[in-house]
Structure 1
Amino acid sequence: MKGNESVSIWIVHGPHAASGSFTQDVHRQLQQQADAAGRTLELRECSNLRTFVGHVCAARNDDTEFVLLDPGELASQVREHPEAGLIDALDSLAAPYIEVHEACDAELEHEVGTHKAPLATVIINGNIGSGYRIGLGIALRQLGEVHRSEEGGTSPAPLIA
């Protein structure tokens, strides 16, 4: 994050096997992508479910405009332990969120109509970096359209991903 600027996009990233690690290079590329769009980016890495849920809860602040959510190897724990509170944390987010996964079996389950669902889910098998770049691109596009709409431009176009 730069100076005293507010955070507009949070990345909440769970643990991954070595093949899907979130490298400094990926982080740098995402930071450049966000900077080019005039947005700030905050990375929160988590090694366990409790910390992951805590960071999702912390993303509820007023300055958060978007969340990229990647449970990584915690996805099975999320499914096995609904009492951990992730669903409630997601439901209380004011900002939209996008799930990013490196494998299709890591996707979180969402009961239709029951809880707040992600704006999009990005799964690029075996390439978490590309998944994050695509997810961030979708988030930046949505934020740009909302900003133009608020300034009196056209209303946001529906998102097709």
Structure 2
Amino acid sequence: MSILIVRGPHGSGHSLTADLLYNLQQQAFQAGRTLELRACGALSDFIALVCAARSDATEFVLLDPGDLTPEMRAHPEAGLCEAIDDLRAPYIDVHDDFGDGIECCAGLHKPPVATVIINGNIGSGYRIGLSLALRRLRIGLQRGERVANDSLRDQRNGCER
């Protein structure tokens, strides 16, 4: 998988519909990536999913703790900060309510690439977050291609890096 959404529980009115998930997956597919959603209902499960993302073929993570935010604040010892810090992939925080950020992890060595908060509209937050992730992955690929092309050119010219 390329992009992973780790989603905590949400109250009614903030659901991720099948149509929205399909549209997000199509957006990723058109960019040559796959998108997978992993949802959970408890902080321990959320942390486990974040930990599992570092062993997957995950290029980017969208984190949406949903209704777990108060529990994250109350239990910083639960290990979420460490799990996020151990991610190999960059991540974006996605929230549907101002004040739901993962600020309990503000001292992380690896801050989010972005935090997307669209009050009351998690669908728009996911679309924006996914667009940012795809753009970042595309830019990284273009840079990687330039480095590879420069290395090939240098090898043909007898130069070493």
> Which residue matches 1:90?
84
Aligned partners of 1:146 and 1:10: how far apart in 2? 18
126, 135, 153: which is aligned to 2:129? 135
Q: Which runs of 4+ in 1 moved over 6 A?
A: none
Does structure 1 residue 111 correspond to structure 2 residue 106? yes
23, 30, 35: which is aligned to 2:17? 23
55, 63, 68: which is aligned to 2:57? 63
| SS in structure 1 of the partner of residue 44 of structure 2 | helix
Question: 1:14 Cα deviation (Å)?
Answer: 0.6
Instruction: Please list every run of 5 or more consecutive structure 1 residues that lacks an aligned counterpart in the other structure.
Output: 1-6, 154-161
Does structure 1 residue 46 correspond to structure 2 residue 40? yes
Q: Deviations over 1:82-110 (max 9, x none)?
A: 11110000000010000000001211114
> Which residue matches 2:94?
100
TM-score scaled by structure 1?
0.87
The question of whether the paired residues in 2 share the 8 Å contact of 1:87 and 1:115 is answered with no
Aligned partners of 1:62 and 1:14: how far apart in 2? 19
Instruction: Please list every run of 5 or more consecutive structure 2 residues that lacks an aligned counterpart in the other structure.
Output: 148-161
* Identity across matched positions, percent: 58
Alignment-mate amino acid for residue 10 of structure 2 = H
Number of residue pairs matched? 146
Q: Deviations over 1:44-68 (max 9, x none)?
A: 0011101000000000025110000
Cα-Cα RMSD: 1.2
Aligned partners of 1:43 and 1:142: how far apart in 2? 19
> Which residue matches 1:159?
none
Q: Normalized per residue, which structure has more helix?
A: 2
